[in-house]
Chains A and B, each alone.
Chain A
Amino acid sequence: MRMTITEKILAAHAGQDAVAPGDLVQVRVDMALANDITAPLAIAVFHELGASQVFDREKVALVPDHFVPNKDIASAEQVKMMEAFADQYKLKNYFKVGDVGIEHVILPEKGLVAPGDLVIGADSHTCTYGAMGAFSTGVGSTDLGAIMATGKTWLKVPETIKVIYKGTLKPWVGGKDLILFTIGRIGVQGARYRTLEFTGPVLKELRMSDRFTMANMAVEAGAKNGIFEPDDAVRDFMKGRTEREGVYWKSDPDARYDEIVEFDLSDLELQVACPHSPENVLPVSSVEKVPLNQVFIGSCTNGSIDDLRMAANFLKGRRVAEKTRLIVIPGSPLIYKQAMQEGILEVLLDAGAAIGPPCCGPCLGGHMGILAGGEKALATTNRNFIGRMGHSKSEVYLAGPAVAAASAVLGRIGSPDEL
């Protein structure tokens, strides 16, 4: 039976030879994830169900990353509750401040996800692990609470949209530009309930960090999951992180797709999503030169060492514009340390950036850089909804690290070409 990679992973976890789009399947879960916003409700559900044990103490990850270091008493209480749960059920994967980074950065970094895995998280950006050839998707707290108890959940097998990227990329164009461009073309519900399968010769030019960025934002097109066929880049990434091999599924050449979309990216410029939707995408040269109060580099979308390197490349020997604040948050303690060892932190500090501890930061308007009424920001994050980063009269533009760094120096939206 011809199947896509997503169908093969779902079939394997349902204990079936084959599945087809539309099938409802019960699947076993290799990793269940929740954060400090979603875990408290999931824990309540777990207790209400009368569960006495988690299904596997090594397969539940609780990652407090949204409002840490605890921003207020209420947030502190939520994290305390997670910690108590992790203690009581002897969870192997609870990460306190100091060890913790952004959930979708540290799970792959710590070798907790392998190709072919099925990962369910109470966070919409759980789709990130598709970069490694895993099936991963976000659910709410009730589903996650039940999964913590049973290790199983039900899913509808999604239809797949195959996206084929062709051409040769221009300098500095990366995963963020590809995914913004794609969302701009297909729209924020263009892949609703479906899978985005990223393919094509361009992928060879992309680093793992680019793939993580792209799979991460699949949900911004409404997708259930975004996925890449795992290859040697994934094998290299896995080295030294885990003993597990994983399963390197590939879509059958004659697999059935609901839709096939093809893009030639040879002329693709750096991309920007304008307020207030990730689908309002324009090439940077067509975006108005909006003065910026703040630039943020970080988040589960673009908080990798590659992103920090790209930013440092443009900030080296330059200063952030007088009326603009630059906030940089490395995605994990490991990335933070690497940035220190490579001299990136010094470059950033010399340029006038503020550097925060690994966490989600201002991305969702949590803390560490909330916007006031009327302020405009450019961020390497994933959503620019009304009020996402603070006041409902603030505005957020989304872009990759190259545009972010250049815009911080220019004090307005701009491209590295203008430096």
Chain B
Amino acid sequence: MKVKGSAFKFGDHIDTDLIIPARFLNVSDKDELAKNCFADLRPEFADKAKSGGVIVAGENFGCGSSREHAPIAIKAAGIGCVVARSFARIFYRNAFNIGLPILEATMEQDFIAEGDPVSVDLTSGEVRNEANGKTVQAMPLPPFMREMVECGGLVPYIKKQKMKSEVNDIHK
């Protein structure tokens, strides 16, 4: 399972107020949230991310509030994956729950520049800068988490599991 796209580069401690400011949280619609993703920090983000992309960030990405609207907005904006040096814990959980794959990787600052073409292999955990061929190894996702991401999050994953077990019951 591979994700490809241009890099959107961010620094350390990108908080959820920056990802989606609270004034936009009076709605839960994902497309509305996507329009306002990084509204103050990078007003051009929502437009540019439409054609896909990978966020590459520093430490503690997603710190602050528990708003699930943050990963929802990023995913709905068109981002296929977030690679960061580290994530805040609530964001980490929320991202998988809503089906946004995220990977922790130890990267040098200059490993990827803004706009570089990036590919991320969720199975092996390899993050590749297609511009110069350089790679880093992120912690790969265990199979069940890949499946959760493929299903689109925890809820569809649980539904699929349920269906599987029902089908198995029939065949027993």
Contact = CB atoms under 8 A, between A and B. Distances in A.
Interface residues of B, number: 37
Interface stretch (B20-28, B120-128, B130-138, B164-172): B20-28
Contact of B41 (A121, A126, A370, A392): A392
Interface stretch (A34-42, A89-97, A406-414): A34-42
A383 B89 CA distance: 17
Contact of B68 (A75, A140, A224): A140
B88 interface: yes
B122 to A, nearest CB: 20
Given A140-B97, A222-B88, A364-B22, A38 B67 contact: yes
Nearest to B60: A189
Contacts of A45: 155
B86 A365 contact: no
Nearest to B94: A140
Contacts of B158: 49, 146
B28 to A, nearest CB: 5
B63 to A, nearest CB: 6
Interface residues of A, number: 45
Nearest to B97: A142
Interface in A17-72: 37-38, 40-41, 44-45, 48-49, 66-67, 71-72
B150 interface: no
A234 interface: no
A138 B90 contact: yes
A75 B26 contact: yes
Contacts of A366: 22-23
B63 A222 contact: yes
Contacts of B17: 364-365, 383, 385-388
A74 interface: yes
Given A38-B68, A45-B155, A142 B94 contact: yes
A230 B159 CA distance: 41
Interface string A384-410: 011110001000000000000000000
Q: Does more than half of chain A's interface fall in helix, strand or loop, or is it mixed?
A: loop
Given A72-B26, A189-B13, A222-B88, A142 B64 contact: no
B154 A146 contact: yes
B75 interface: no
Contact of B23 (A49, A126, A365, A383): A365
A124 B63 CA distance: 10
A138 B88 CA distance: 12
B64 A192 contact: no
Interface in B57-105: 59-60, 63-69, 71-72, 86, 88-90, 93-94, 97-98
Contact of A192 (B18, B23, B88): B88
Contacts of A387: 17-18, 21, 40
A161 interface: no
A364 B89 contact: no
Interface of B: 13, 15, 17-18, 21-23, 25-28, 40-41, 59-60, 63-69, 71-72, 86, 88-90, 93-94, 97-98, 153-155, 158-159
Interface of A: 37-38, 40-41, 44-45, 48-49, 66-67, 71-72, 74-75, 78, 121-124, 126, 138-143, 145-146, 188-189, 192-193, 222, 224, 277, 364-366, 370, 383, 385-388, 392
Listed from nearest, the 8 A-B pairs whose CB atoms lie closest are: A140-B94, A392-B40, A140-B68, A74-B26, A142-B97, A364-B22, A124-B66, A138-B66
